[in-house]
Structure 1
Amino acid sequence: MPEIWRDDAPGERRAALVENGNIVEIHMQRDTLWALGETGTGRIDRKTPSGAYVIADDNSELLLRSRISDPEGMRVTFEVTREAIAEPGRVKPAEIALRDSGVLPSLEKDALWDARLTAFAQSVISASIADGFDIALSGQSQLGSVIISFQRTKAGLVFDVDGIGSAFDINQVAAAEIARLLRLYQVGAMVMIDFVSMEAKAQRTQIAEIFDAASVVDGRPFERTAINGYGLMQVVRARPRPSVLDHLFGTRIAALSDETQAYWLLRAVAQSSGFGARTVTTRPEVATLLQSDGWATWRAQAVRLAGADMQVVADEKATGYGHVHVAQS
């Protein structure tokens, strides 16, 4: 039976759908961002020819993609229809639809997250899913002699396939693995796959069909092109939420975002053992984020879970994304 492994920490909720002991999907939600289906209030900041920008009560900017007659400055009630998504070089704001405040139920992050998990499996246990991020962090999956590399771009996620042996054999392995990775990391929007080129159209058709068959278990509808003579195939899915890759890297291409580094340091504090105070040493940019007013709630949660005080030290020479030291008491 499928089950959910839940691995929450201050400010960052994450969980994995597990089948036969294998992680097949990873889901994430960060509490500093508006969640899909969440409701709130704000004011119309500025109108555009096709909609408006709304400033929510937490001062975040949201995008309304429908024309309205309401004037700028008017207060409105909204529901999030697409979460904010970070892409290389930019962040696309969350999109909303206006709702009647008199009939709209109040939907908050806790309830939305619980409903999201129970929709996949009734059995939910607490367990670490850290191993599920290994391929995402490396940007590469290797199966025998077949190497599948991937990278985020402004246009979408790009896969490159390489290996030793016949192009058809390499592509068979790659097609199934790429379908698995797209499900694992919940990748939406545009995906470009650069298979090893094959001259025979029949072989290209077979590889596309292998991808289709491997994608059946995903459940998310998609459209794709045929594989052309150069080995290129395009896949498109809806993207109502950021993928795991979007969460991890933010506006960067292949380096963890400052937000991810801050979340993971708070996670380390919350999961640390010992009685002494925790000292978090990290780069100045991450230290500033951790000490900001907007992160006060998550700092307090980490301190409560650790059962000890926490201080943040900025160090330009900090390696990786920093470390947590537990004082000897």
Structure 2
Amino acid sequence: MAEWLFEAGIGEARAALVANGTIREARIELDRPGPRIGAILPARLVEITVKGREGRVSFDGGEALLSPLPPGITQGAALHIELIREAIPEPGRHKLPRAAPADGPERPGPTLLERIEATGIPVRHCLPHEADHLEAAGWSEVLEEALTGDIIFAGPTGGALRMSPTPAMTLFDVDGHPPLEPLALAAAHAVAAAIVRLDIGGSIGVDFPTLQGKAARAAVDAAIDAGLPQPFERTAMNGFGFVQIVRRRTRIALPELLRADPAAAEARALLRRIERTPPPVPAVHSVSAAVQRALAANPHWIAALARRTGVACTFEVR
């Protein structure tokens, strides 16, 4: 039976859809100000960037790209918008959120908890003094594969995926030993599962081993179709083993979220471990300089830890 595991953590909320003891979907929502995706809110058009098609709007909490432009709208006009895509972090810059014109009434975007509750699948709220159900299902391993891009999968002779997020697309490279057809088929199942597990959207490229024969390539295509929920589009595998998949992208994928600030991600994971430490909780913890800086930049995280554990923890550079 499938169930969602949910934790209201320090600095982030965590959720994992678990079935048969395995994490099928892993989601993190950072605790940060500003409206969420799905919010309808008042805004003002500050710039028309593409005449008749796109503009930049400002609202309480930030800016977004607006498309399409309402007919006849002029710069400076007030309107209501719905946020439809999060800001996307890229090396050296952030892509602004995207918005669409909307009619009222105003509303907040759903929280992670509200989104998983809306699936109709049972939700278990996990508490620090209980057994670590997330970890038992492989939470740390999922975070590790999101950060490193190394994903091991089972197959006739075993295999591995190397996932590389880029500004253009997320790339998966398949590595393993012959025979190539069973390897590619196992890899197709693994790629589809990883895309769902890590919430990867947008353009996705998969470099499979080169397969001889249309039937072998068609079997890989069918395996992708079976493992990925609609809607998505894909190309057929070409003669060089490459497949491109395009999925709707509304939120930051887990690899992008963790890699945008790995020190902060490590700090939040550390706070989770400390919060789950049975009493007496140590008061002094050794951390890297990067993690110490992340904690210093978020003193409310340390204050929350003190409230939850009853210990005023300090963090020293090791």
TM-score range, shorter chain: 0.7 to 0.9
Offset, 1:112: 2.8
Aligned to 2:269: 264
Aligned to 1:51: 54
Offset, 1:269: 4.5
Q: Which consecutive unaligned segments of at least 5 residues does structure 1 have?
A: 251-255, 319-329
Offset, 1:287: 3.8
Aligned residue among 172, 179, 182 for 2:185:
172
Contact residue 68 and residue 101 of structure 2 kept, 8 A: no
Offset, 1:65: 2.6
Q: Which consecutive unaligned segments of at least 5 residues does structure 2 have?
A: 127-132
Q: Which amino acid aligns with 1:112?
A: T
Q: Which amino acid aligns with 1:2?
A: A
Aligned residue among 52, 65, 68 for 1:66:
68
Offset, 1:117: 0.8
Tell me the TM-score normalised to structure 1 length.
0.79
Percent identical pairs in the alignment equals 28
Aligned to 1:112: 111
Offset, 1:169: 1.7
Offset, 1:243: 1.2
Aligned to 2:253: 243
Contact residue 3 and residue 121 of structure 1 kept, 8 A: no
Query: 1:287 & 1:40 partners in 2: Cα distance?
Result: 36
Equivalent position SS for 1:234: strand
Q: Deviations over 1:109-151 (max 9, x none)?
A: xx53232111334421113233432433342233243222221
Query: 2:227 & 2:5 partners in 1: Cα distance?
Result: 23
Equivalent position SS for 2:184: helix
Offset, 1:153: 1.5
Q: Deviations over 1:55-103 (max 9, x none)?
A: 4434x3322233363543x665543211112234432122223445xx4
Query: 2:240 & 2:143 partners in 1: Cα distance?
Result: 31
Query: 2:243 & 2:28 partners in 1: Cα distance?
Result: 28
CA RMSD across the alignment:
2.8
Seen in structure 2, the aligned counterparts of structure 1 residues 147 and 106 have a Cα distance that, compared at 3 Å, is closer
Contact residue 6 and residue 113 of structure 2 kept, 8 A: no
Seen in structure 2, the aligned counterparts of structure 1 residues 192 and 170 have a Cα distance that, compared at 3 Å, is same
Query: 1:298 & 1:43 partners in 2: Cα distance?
Result: 34
Corresponding position: 1:214 with 2:219: no
Seen in structure 2, the aligned counterparts of structure 1 residues 282 and 140 have a Cα distance that, compared at 3 Å, is closer
Contact residue 269 and residue 278 of structure 1 kept, 8 A: no
Offset, 1:105: 4.0
Residues paired across the two proteins, number: 298
Aligned to 1:13: 13
Q: Which amino acid aligns with 2:257?
A: H
Corresponding position: 1:135 with 2:135: no
Query: 2:214 & 2:281 partners in 1: Cα distance?
Result: 65
Equivalent position SS for 1:7: strand
Query: 1:107 & 1:122 partners in 2: Cα distance?
Result: 23
Aligned to 1:35: 36
Q: Which amino acid aligns with 2:19?
A: E
Seen in structure 2, the aligned counterparts of structure 1 residues 269 and 180 have a Cα distance that, compared at 3 Å, is same
Query: 1:67 & 1:77 partners in 2: Cα distance?
Result: 12
Q: Which amino acid aligns with 1:229?
A: G
Seen in structure 2, the aligned counterparts of structure 1 residues 220 and 244 have a Cα distance that, compared at 3 Å, is farther
Q: Which amino acid aligns with 1:307?
A: G
